[in-house]
Amino acid sequence: MAKEKPSLNTVNFTAAQLMEFDACTRCGECVKYCPTYDARDKNQDIEPRDKIQRWKEFMNKCFGLKARLFGPEKIPPEEIKKFTDDLYNCTTCGMCGTVCPAGINTIELWESTRANLVKYGTGPYGKQSLFPKLIEEGHNPYLKQQKDRLAWMTPDIKIAEKSDIAYFIGCTAGYNQQVLGVSTARILNKLNVPFMALGEEEWCCGSALIRTGQQHINDTPKKAAIHNVEALKARGAKRVIFACAGCFRAAKIDWPRAYGKALPFEAIHMSQFLAEQLDAGKIKWEKSLNKTVTYHDPCHLGRHVGVFEEPRKVIKSMPGIKLVEMKRNRKEQRCCGAGGGVKAGIPDLALGVATGRMKDAKETGAEALISTCPFCRRNLIDGRDELKLDMNVDDLVVMTANLMGLSTDVKPPAPGAPKESISDLFRTQTIPPKPPAPPAEPKAAAPATPAPAASAPKAATAPVAKAEASKAPAAKAEAPKASAKEAAKAPAANKK
């Protein structure tokens, strides 16, 4: 008699990763620091230790000694689906791996497990499934036009046609958080640093697909990485500046893997570039700001890549600014809650983690929270608003631009524009409210049904009514369906 086929497989896992599942000592150190575990009222199902143990059990049922002797044990599909949902209740921040005594690389482990379950059919989670189509067809997750990649530019900004320094703007700064784009460009102009931008040739960095385990679908992240690298190379780029932590992480770690070799240019985050310029004596502060601020380390910039001190160096050099640290900082920082596709797929979890981080900030007594990631900024603003805290949330680049004497104003915001499109710390602009939706057209009254003849028996009308009712589903089926583009609009607002 043929043995049962295993319920799961080991696709996407390296041999080392399969051993990492066995390496877990169940010490629980990861549980103490997990931000999603805290935000989910300490639900054991989503703690890192529990997920590792459950997957290890799955593998034993499929490929352990007993499975080899007597055949694999069937795992109920609903159990696999439950595990998948729990796995995606995670921002892939890497905090668990940072404190793991066994040295398990949990970031890579979670991403490989997600990719395995996407291929199995139970992943990704919710609206994250729209990412592949949006990014493959439109090269961004926001349903925006490529021709509008540089629509944020104001007349005072100068971008070179060709330069050995490039600014990779990213989808979020280009379309939703224009204040980051204009601030970065104006700083470079003020420092007399000629730079070029890809404009319509710039494609999404692909981070959202990799973080949610969907990198194999049409090979979209690989194609995007190769396209961006070749486009930057063709324009003569030797250094590429990123103001988005997610794009920077993709360029430093994911792009070389997709490209198959070292990148032909240096990828540098804007905070690192500012620290360099500060050391060279090129940054001249023209204003001071008497505020106490705290700094939030983005996971993608800090734990994933290792940039911790440069942003702090820039902040400490600013006139009037006092930097105070949150208890959890640098490698032990608490995630903002937006990463790993959580902002798009599980927004209530993203908000729960964000409020936890804003409570950390409140404890310091700071008047403003500063970060270096557009996703962190947006999600922490949401957390701030949820808690109704009197605290500004802004980007290091925006604060730098203002204290260098530069404007942080963007083009007049459209009604209902994202709240993060303008500066939160230097509010010289307002976003007009979105106009109310037009009232729905009143439905035409249904024609009156003639009353049955008095002599007709009641039983005779029942088949007619039943027959009329049976026509309704057919009429409903003919109603036009919403286009895929319309259906995708809502979830695309947050991709990280």
- pLDDT tens per residue across span 111-139: 999 999 999 999 898 889 889 999 999 99
pLDDT of residue 463: 39
Average pLDDT over residues 260-278: 96
- Cα–Cα distance for residue pair 206/56, rounded to 1 Å: 30
- Cα–Cα distance for residue pair 109/23, rounded to 1 Å: 12
Query: Domain segments of the chain: what residues?
Result: 15-123, 145-278, 281-421
What single string gives the DSSP state of each residue in 113-182?
HHHHHHHHTS-S-GGGGGHHHHHHHHSSTT---GGGTTTT--TT---BSS-SEEEE--HHHHHT-HHHHH
- Cα–Cα distance for residue pair 301/306, rounded to 1 Å: 6
| Sign of the dihedral defined by the CA atoms of residues 136, 92, 338, 330, in that order | negative
pLDDT classification of 290: cutoffs 50, 70, 90? very high
The pLDDT > 90 percentage for the chain reads 76
- For 13-57, what is the HEC assignment? CCHHHHHHHHHCCCCCHHHHHCHHHHHCCCCHHHCHHHHHHHHHH
Average pLDDT over residues 331-360: 93
Where is 6: in which H helix or E strand? none
- For 58-85, what is the HEC assignment? HHHHHHCHHHHHHCCCCCCHHHHHHHHH
Work out the number of other CB atoms within 10 angstroms of the CB of residue 285: 16
Where is 193: in which H helix or E strand? none
pLDDT classification of 484: cutoffs 50, 70, 90? very low
pLDDT of residue 450: 53
Average pLDDT over residues 467-489: 39
- Cα–Cα distance for residue pair 320/250, rounded to 1 Å: 35
Taking a C-beta distance cutoff of 8 angstroms, is the pair 324, 364 a contact?
Answer: yes
What digits encode the pLDDT tens for the residues 32-70? 999 999 999 899 999 999 999 999 999 999 998 888 888
C-alpha R_g of the chain: 27
Q: With a cut of 60, say whether residue 338 has pLDDT above it.
A: yes
Q: Cis omega before residue 124 (within 30°)?
A: yes
Average pLDDT over residues 201-228: 94
pLDDT classification of 495: cutoffs 50, 70, 90? low
Q: For all residues of the chain together, what is the average pLDDT?
A: 88
Taking a C-beta distance cutoff of 8 angstroms, is the pair 375, 354 a contact?
Answer: no
The DSSP code for 183 is H
Report whether CATH 3.40.50.1860 matches the domain 145-278. yes
15-123 and 145-278 have identical folds: no
Taking a C-beta distance cutoff of 8 angstroms, is the pair 338, 246 a contact?
Answer: no
Of 269, 350, 356, 342, nearest in space to 311 by CA: 269
Average pLDDT over residues 337-356: 93
pLDDT classification of 314: cutoffs 50, 70, 90? very high
pLDDT of residue 457: 40
Q: With a cut of 70, say whether residue 23 has pLDDT above it.
A: yes
Q: With a cut of 70, say whether residue 466 has pLDDT above it.
A: no
Q: In sequence order, which ranges of 325-477 are alpha helices (DSSP H)?
A: 342-345, 347-363, 374-387, 396-403, 458-477
pLDDT of residue 448: 56
Where is 108: in which H helix or E strand? helix 106-120
What digits encode the pLDDT tens for the residues 431-455? 888 888 777 776 655 555 554 444 4
Of 47, 68, 60, 66, nearest in space to 8 by CA: 60
What digits encode the pLDDT tens for the residues 369-395? 999 999 999 999 999 999 999 999 999
pLDDT classification of 496: cutoffs 50, 70, 90? low
The pLDDT > 70 percentage for the chain reads 88
**Among the listed ranges 238-242, 285-289, 389-393, 439-443, which one has the minimum average pLDDT value?**
439-443
Taking a C-beta distance cutoff of 8 angstroms, is the pair 197, 166 a contact?
Answer: yes
Q: What is the CATH number of domain 15-123?
A: 1.10.1060.10
Q: Which two tokens stand for residue 14?
A: 């390296």
pLDDT classification of 464: cutoffs 50, 70, 90? very low
Q: With a cut of 60, say whether residue 477 has pLDDT above it.
A: no
pLDDT of residue 416: 87
- What 3-state DSSP class applies to 332? helix
- What 3-state DSSP class applies to 268? strand
Q: With a cut of 80, say whether residue 489 has pLDDT above it.
A: no
Report whether CATH 3.40.50.1860 matches the domain 281-421. yes
pLDDT of residue 121: 92
Calculate the alpha carbon distances from 403 to 11, 85, 195, 273, 325 in Å. 51, 45, 22, 17, 21
DSSP β-ladder status, 165-168 and 368-371: unpaired
pLDDT of residue 427: 84
**Which has more confidence, 494 or 20?**
20
